[in-house]
Amino acid sequence: MAASLRINHLSIRVRDLTRSADFYRQVLRLPEIECKVGKPNIRWFGIGDDHSIHLIEGDFGATYVTMSTHLCIAVTDLDGTIAHIAGTGTTYSDLARNEGMIHIRRDGVRSIYLQDPDGYWLEISDDY
């Protein structure tokens, strides 16, 4: 019998923990949850259904970041989410990097792309 699998969390290295935590809490509106490892350089954020993002402050090193390597977060209200993101002064674009535009896939799913304070790409879609 094969084991059941699911994604539990995503950990990313950040340069400035406070700045990144503010982005994930205020711009993406993710709830901060208890960091069960109790380390001062790590903060956890819930992302629905017992999944989480772990921000770990430390040496960023030589990290190569492209738009193709991204985390996609699906939302139930893309228009409201876009209004909130724009209201924070955060820029977003479509896949072609046209600022303020919404990308529409061939299957009709709409999404936007933005970067966090460390340059990681995030896609926000209505493919909920």
Does the structure show a pLDDT above 80 at 1? no
Say what percent of the chain tops pLDDT 70: 99
Does the structure show a pLDDT above 70 at 66? yes
Helix H or strand E encompassing 55: strand 52-57
Tens-place pLDDT, residues 80-121: 999 999 999 999 999 999 999 999 999 999 999 999 999 999
Average pLDDT on 67-71 reads: 93
Tell me the pLDDT band of 73, cut-offs 50, 70 and 90.
very high
Tell me the pLDDT band of 3, cut-offs 50, 70 and 90.
confident
123 contacts 73 by C-beta, under 8 angstroms: yes
DSSP-derived 3-state class of residue 73: strand
Average pLDDT on 5-31 reads: 95
Retrieve residue 35's tokens.
Answer: 């960091």
Residue 115 and residue 122: Cα distance in Å, rounded? 6
Give 89 or 59, the one with higher predicted confidence: 89
Tell me the pLDDT band of 49, cut-offs 50, 70 and 90.
confident
